[in-house]
């Protein structure tokens, strides 16, 4: 079913954040998994990540990763990244330029790690070797030590594209300003 069309820029921006927040509550929501693009010494890199937290007031998203992973090395050098999300149900694409940082607040980090421990999924962060290390066997080797990292992505702008049978629409929201764009 084609969702009802919103007609004001303010309503669309609100709906984007509402939808991002909804994705955190709904298991199958398409925006739970996004593509994170980063720069790797002048080359593009991208991978899927699961969004773990959306903070509409702070305009920030958080995801988990291995602290030794290439993406963490990349964001230390170039904090500018881009999160890309597409929802077939909404017909909406979101491109979000982000500023990436490892979570500086130890309490926030500890709270998220406690959450991971409560689900028993700590093995994702206990690989013996850093992600991307060539290995002799396909079975992952686990180490004792956890390498959990919480990454905060501050959303600098929303570039919204709606695919619709009555005509596609696109808008950009940045620094309190908003405008329609040619799709
Ligand atoms: C659906 C899906 C979800 C993923 N979620 C995460 C995630 O939340 N965090 C993460 O570090 N890697 C996640 N991955 C694996 C990454 O896409 C990537 O392969 C891995 O993190 C290594 O990336 P890097 O070499 O760019 O650091 C996910 C992969 C898929 C297919």
Domains of the chain by residue range = 9-181
Q: Which of 32, 48, 131, 135 to mutate to test the pocket of ligand 1 (most atoms within 8 A of CB)?
A: 48
At the fourth CATH level, the homologous superfamily of domain 9-181 is Electron Transport, Fmn-binding Protein; Chain A (2.30.110.10)
Q: Atom 26 in ligand 1: which residue has the minimum CA distance? A: 71
Average pLDDT, the chain: 95
CA distance 46 to 63: 14
CA distance 3 to 86: 15
Over residues 163-177, the pLDDT tens digits come to 999 999 999 999 999
What is the pLDDT, as a whole number, of residue 50?
98
Q: At 71, is the pLDDT very low, low, confident or very high (cuts 50, 70, 90)?
A: very high
H, E, C per residue of the chain? CCCCCCCCHHHHHHHHHHHHHHHHHCCCCHHHEEEEEEEECCEEEEEEEEEEEEECCCCEEEEEEECCCHHHHHHHHCCEEEEEEEECCCCEEEEEEEEEEECCCHHHHHHHHHHHHHHCCHHHHCECCCCCCCCCCCCCCECCCCCEEEEEEEECEEEEEECCCCCCEEEEEECCEEEEECC
With a Cβ cut-off of 6 Å, ligand 1 is lined by: 33, 45, 47-50, 63-66, 69-71, 131-132
Rounded to the nearest angstrom, the distance between the alpha carbon of 56 and the centre of ligand 1 is 23
Over residues 90-102, the pLDDT tens digits come to 999 999 999 999 9
Rounded to the nearest angstrom, the distance between the alpha carbon of 46 and the centre of ligand 1 is 9
pLDDT at residue 3 is higher than 70: no
Rounded to the nearest angstrom, the distance between the alpha carbon of 131 and the centre of ligand 1 is 9
Q: Which two tokens stand for residue 116?
A: 């991971």
What is the pLDDT, as a whole number, of residue 15?
97
């Amino acid at each position: 079913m084609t969702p009802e069309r919103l007609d004001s820029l303010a309503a669309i921006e609100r709906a984007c954040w509402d939808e991002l927040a909804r994705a955190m509550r709904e298991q199958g929501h398409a925006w739970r998994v996004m593509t994170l693009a980063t720069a790797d010494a002048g080359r593009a890199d991208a991978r899927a990540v699961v969004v773990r937290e959306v903070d509409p007031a702070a305009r920030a998203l958080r995801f988990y990763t291995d602290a030794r992973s290439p993406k963490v090395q990349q964001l230390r050098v170039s904090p500018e990244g881009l999160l890309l999300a597409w929802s077939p149900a909404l017909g909406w694409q979101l491109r979000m330029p982000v500023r990436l940082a490892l979570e500086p607040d130890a309490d926030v980090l500890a709270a998220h790690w406690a959450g991971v421990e409560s689900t028993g999924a700590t093995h994702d962060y206990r690989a013996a070797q850093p992600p991307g290390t060539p290995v002799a066997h396909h079975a992952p080797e686990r180490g004792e030590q956890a390498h959990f990292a919480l990454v905060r992505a501050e959303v600098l702008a929303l570039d919204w594209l709606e695919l619709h049978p009555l005509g596609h629409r696109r808008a950009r929201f940045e620094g309190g300003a908003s405008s329609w764009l040619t799709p």
